Structure 1
């Protein structure tokens, strides 16, 4: 009998190990263990609203021992878990795994907030919940309308909040919102302007879109039908800027020509008639413009030569030509001042000239012209205080501006705290009063009885009347000082 090289017990152990490893049957390694659960291996981080979460989210398929299942190609589905602001998740929400890993490269959350989570699920496996993350908004521009506010983020998304009676928030509903909601359509927006109950925007490519109330053709789409989401303004015009007034809209195309549409009862379209128009019509005359601003029933603009031209209603001298006669085409503002910007308000107009001085003219109730009186002015009067402004904005009964150093000042009526000065609540101010809080602003926008501004770091702040949520802070409480928009 041959002598065995190892004792029988050792030989038995070696055979057991060989069979367990599958090394003796010619079939290679055994099958991996089945998938039992998921895990986030790349977690979501703070992201900009409506923009892809970066880096891409990764979910790994694991077995009962916590090891990756490298052969898994199962479909993994993503959803929002904790959802503090009733947001929606966009992008590719169902992905087939590769090598046991599902990668989500374009997930987007539409509303700002903190404490969001994602939940990953897969048939036959325990779902996984991500770490909490925040969604923020960084604004580049804001526009305050009658009882709503809209803004553009640095990534080109448009958001609106406040009253939505005619779909002027552009989210496809007529539901009011107390915090920013994404305007539908996936537009890449450069500029937004909101008026009485309608809103218009210009995309990065120069296309104009409008939404909201359209009873006078102010959306410019050839109809008088309201729209709850953006509708393109036809005509093939390439716009540099638009301004939504009470019930009309005007814009400047890239060649400098001005076009207007909507209500035209006082000549506010500037086409030489009193006929309302549901599509853009050219403003009469030879003037070209760098910028236009629309008010209640009037419009003004700045030419490349720094002259100001106005047209429409002139009942209180808001056209600045020294008369109270309406004009259906542009007339030059008196004084020979070199304007860099103008803003048309309810029945008044203000502007900034080269060097930073602010001038106002027109109706002067509640001291909104800022010249220390309540006397109507038919030509530009300097705003008191000697401040150097970069920009001004006119509302219904008040006016605000940002100085070249970034300080915000307001004057006029303060019945709802729209001046941002708690010490003068319910008291009108006849000259510029500093907005409380010491914030450094890039721009401000004055609306009906509220004001908003964008700071130099892209934060949005609002103050004043708030019964429809137009301040965007998640409440309907009036604010006497700036409060941060939920972002």
Structure 2
């Protein structure tokens, strides 16, 4: 996350024309909370002194990451929200935490809405990194909480830093701007020890391991490990003249410069890094200039190619994440542009914008911060508004993500990866959830969209997703191909601010069609099909549909499952055999070694999760075992000479009357003949079965389908209910944690 820093006071004349990055940055030294001079913020969002005079907006600074954020109150207090280091360190009050799943790391992380931090007082500025927060506190010291990179959590002051007026931190490079314009920085390449980088600085930006400073003369300099790495790789990969093309790797003790001069920018008052180390400059006349090329193009002898960004010419400040930017004008209105997958531009859509677009219904903004999928702003009214994907669930929490898809009545369904498809009551194939979320956006990606495959009209038996997607219909026709967004028919998706707008829907381009197919399973690898009528069927497996080859060692196959370089097959009247597989890109694979699974007969169906393989038996009971693939390489390590499947002892998991099994990723589920559903965790490290929470489904489920991170159930009346991860639209609606327009963050 790249966050702009406020400008330093350069004198009355300059302050009248220069764009101040944060209009509230001119607050004096904040008074301590217990000083008795400040009153609690009122409804209008203004802090008042003891005589009732307004001291200005409640919030003076804000910084956010993907899952947490923090804001500085004019009283000097710091409030944080979401899943972040302050919650993990118990530096703030948290609500009762939900029950945790020991197999789900994310569920064990502390969570909470906005609340005030303890041990952080008299703050004037705040900045955040992925697992760290820092604030400028009394005396201009810099106090941090959390972990640098992946270390342990601590509360500490940056040594030697005093009289700081602003701060910018990132995961690799962090800087404090001191009174008088001295810029001190520290990072992983300096072992966290601050050193002075520049003098007479008026703005600074940092992103990952790269930092840049802007001087009062308009000079921009950048530094960090990426600069020295570029010089090192340049020496290593490019042979110097006169060496006959011989490459000499640099010696271990050879030093390389870690600083680069970017150039002088006339009337520049602020800078920021955007995209992949592209540079943007804000001028005193309110114009924004951004480079088409990254900073390292200068080291390659190329130009930055600065271009003016269109939109409002009176920009007062701006912010950037890796993929989108926002700017504030003189009236406190915000325009954003760039990536908009989860509505982080705040225009009511999930459509990418190349030009600045107004944020809907947002005025009086005094501070702004962006992360990859989320944007937040503090306003003069004393509120904090956010839009985009609230991954930290600070604005609303769901213990279980579940949705019954509105308006869909399905006769059959299947799932694979992040995609689910169903044949509806009009015999139309509809799909939702997608790996193409970047191209489609969450609105289209989560909408059950018609797919033109008439061969699926009789019903959908199975499907696979990935590099090559396939659909197997009840008619036995298998159609494989790839997804596309070009030439697709528009799918009207009315939104609160853009009713009637249209976005391109996905389309499926068929490249291969097979007939008389009974079953389909995709590892990957292997991808396997069973072709032919009962008694004369054959198993075909390969790395893709075009490379399918008959596996003759397994006779009369009836069902196949595959996951993570292994496959299991029901054959010879109910026996189960399994084999390992491998990615053989340019080599002839060795003969398959079939492993017979003992103790299983009369198997009807098979499923495979990340680690487990399970068989549904004729008596309605389920047997599971942990399977893994082992490879044996040639002595010179050039290729694999044998691939084998190893299985732990199969065990009955203790449920009966099962009519269907499904599996995906880290979970497996069973549907019984009474319409009930039970799910359990795919845990290869414990003998004890861990049952998972299943939402209330009403006991009328007729069919299940499981993707890698979600499960869907078709009810007897055709309704479809999905639960699990919804980040990619898997549940058939825009997630409740996604806000396409600004939404007020609740703060105590």
TM-based fold match above 0.5? yes
Q: Does 1:237 align with 2:162?
A: yes
Distance in 2 of aligned mates of 1:410 and 1:340 = 20
CA 1:394–1:171 in structure 2 vs 1: closer, same or farther (change >3 Å)? same
Deviations 1:6-51 (A, max 9, x none): xxxxxxxxxxxxxxxxxxxxxxxxxxxxxxxxxxxxxxxxxxxx95
Q: Paired residue for 1:156, among 57, 65, 76?
A: 76
Matches within 5 A, 1:293-304: 293-304=205-216
> 1:305: which partner in 2?
217
CA 1:460–1:382 in structure 2 vs 1: closer, same or farther (change >3 Å)? same
* Equivalent residues, number: 318
Aligned partners of 1:141 and 1:153 also within 8 Å: yes
Q: Does 1:462 align with 2:386?
A: yes
Q: Does 1:343 align with 2:263?
A: no
Distance in 2 of aligned mates of 1:245 and 1:168 = 19
Distance in 2 of aligned mates of 1:362 and 1:167 = 39
For residue 202 of structure 1, report the CA deviation from its aligned partner: 0.4
Aligned partners of 1:291 and 1:303 also within 8 Å: yes
Matches within 5 A, 1:210-225: 210-215=144-149, 225=152
CA 1:54–1:155 in structure 2 vs 1: closer, same or farther (change >3 Å)? closer
> 1:131: which partner in 2?
none
For residue 479 of structure 1, report the CA deviation from its aligned partner: 0.6
Aligned partners of 2:87 and 2:111 also within 8 Å: no
> 2:288: which partner in 1?
358
> 1:140: which partner in 2?
60
For residue 351 of structure 1, report the CA deviation from its aligned partner: 2.8
CA 1:145–1:362 in structure 2 vs 1: closer, same or farther (change >3 Å)? farther
> 1:260: which partner in 2?
185
Q: Does 1:226 align with 2:146?
A: no
Determine helix, strand or coil for the equivalent of 2:192: strand
CA 1:169–1:254 in structure 2 vs 1: closer, same or farther (change >3 Å)? farther
For residue 460 of structure 1, report the CA deviation from its aligned partner: 1.1
For residue 281 of structure 1, report the CA deviation from its aligned partner: 1.9
Distance in 2 of aligned mates of 1:238 and 1:328 = 29
Distance in 1 of aligned mates of 2:319 and 2:88 = 21
> Which shows bigger deviation, 383-392 or 152-161?
383-392
Deviations 1:383-423 (A, max 9, x none): 1225221111111211111012211010000001100011x
> 1:394: which partner in 2?
320
Distance in 2 of aligned mates of 1:417 and 1:169 = 31
> 2:595: which partner in 1?
none
CA 1:199–1:345 in structure 2 vs 1: closer, same or farther (change >3 Å)? farther
Q: Paired residue for 1:278, among 192, 206, 222?
A: 192
Aligned partners of 1:342 and 1:350 also within 8 Å: yes
Distance in 2 of aligned mates of 1:168 and 1:240 = 28
Aligned partners of 1:141 and 1:152 also within 8 Å: yes
Determine helix, strand or coil for the equivalent of 2:185: strand
Aligned partners of 1:295 and 1:346 also within 8 Å: no
For residue 336 of structure 1, report the CA deviation from its aligned partner: 2.9
Aligned partners of 2:221 and 2:260 also within 8 Å: yes
Q: Does 1:408 align with 2:334?
A: yes
Distance in 1 of aligned mates of 2:60 and 2:90 = 19
> 1:485: which partner in 2?
745
CA 1:108–1:231 in structure 2 vs 1: closer, same or farther (change >3 Å)? farther
Distance in 2 of aligned mates of 1:168 and 1:311 = 32
Distance in 2 of aligned mates of 1:196 and 1:346 = 17
Determine helix, strand or coil for the equivalent of 1:171: coil
Aligned partners of 2:89 and 2:153 also within 8 Å: no
Distance in 2 of aligned mates of 1:477 and 1:200 = 26
> 1:448: which partner in 2?
372
Aligned partners of 2:174 and 2:211 also within 8 Å: no
Aligned partners of 1:170 and 1:212 also within 8 Å: no
For residue 237 of structure 1, report the CA deviation from its aligned partner: 3.0
For residue 473 of structure 1, report the CA deviation from its aligned partner: 5.6
Matches within 5 A, 1:47-126: none
Determine helix, strand or coil for the equivalent of 1:205: helix
Distance in 2 of aligned mates of 1:190 and 1:233 = 16
Deviations 1:421-463 (A, max 9, x none): 11x31x2110100001142212221112100111123321111
Distance in 1 of aligned mates of 2:74 and 2:397 = 22
Distance in 1 of aligned mates of 2:360 and 2:303 = 29
Determine helix, strand or coil for the equivalent of 2:124: strand
Name stretches of at least 5 consecutive residues in structure 1 with no aligned partner.
1-49, 56-105, 113-136, 217-223, 265-275, 318-326, 365-375
Distance in 2 of aligned mates of 1:191 and 1:257 = 17
Name stretches of at least 5 consecutive residues in structure 2 with no aligned partner.
1-31, 44-56, 95-107, 231-255, 295-301, 399-735
> 1:185: which partner in 2?
119
CA 1:236–1:468 in structure 2 vs 1: closer, same or farther (change >3 Å)? closer
Aligned partners of 2:130 and 2:171 also within 8 Å: yes
> 2:91: which partner in 1?
171
For residue 177 of structure 1, report the CA deviation from its aligned partner: 3.3
Aligned partners of 2:114 and 2:746 also within 8 Å: yes
CA 1:377–1:170 in structure 2 vs 1: closer, same or farther (change >3 Å)? farther
Aligned partners of 1:389 and 1:404 also within 8 Å: yes
Determine helix, strand or coil for the equivalent of 1:333: strand
Distance in 2 of aligned mates of 1:148 and 1:178 = 10
Determine helix, strand or coil for the equivalent of 1:341: strand
For residue 186 of structure 1, report the CA deviation from its aligned partner: 4.1
Deviations 1:262-294 (A, max 9, x none): 223xxxxxxxxxxx32221222xx543123111
For residue 226 of structure 1, report the CA deviation from its aligned partner: 2.3
CA 1:443–1:484 in structure 2 vs 1: closer, same or farther (change >3 Å)? same
Aligned partners of 1:473 and 1:486 also within 8 Å: no
TM-score by length of 2: 0.39
For residue 214 of structure 1, report the CA deviation from its aligned partner: 2.1
> Which shows bigger deviation, 246-255 or 395-404?
246-255
Aligned partners of 2:221 and 2:263 also within 8 Å: no
For residue 335 of structure 1, report the CA deviation from its aligned partner: 5.7
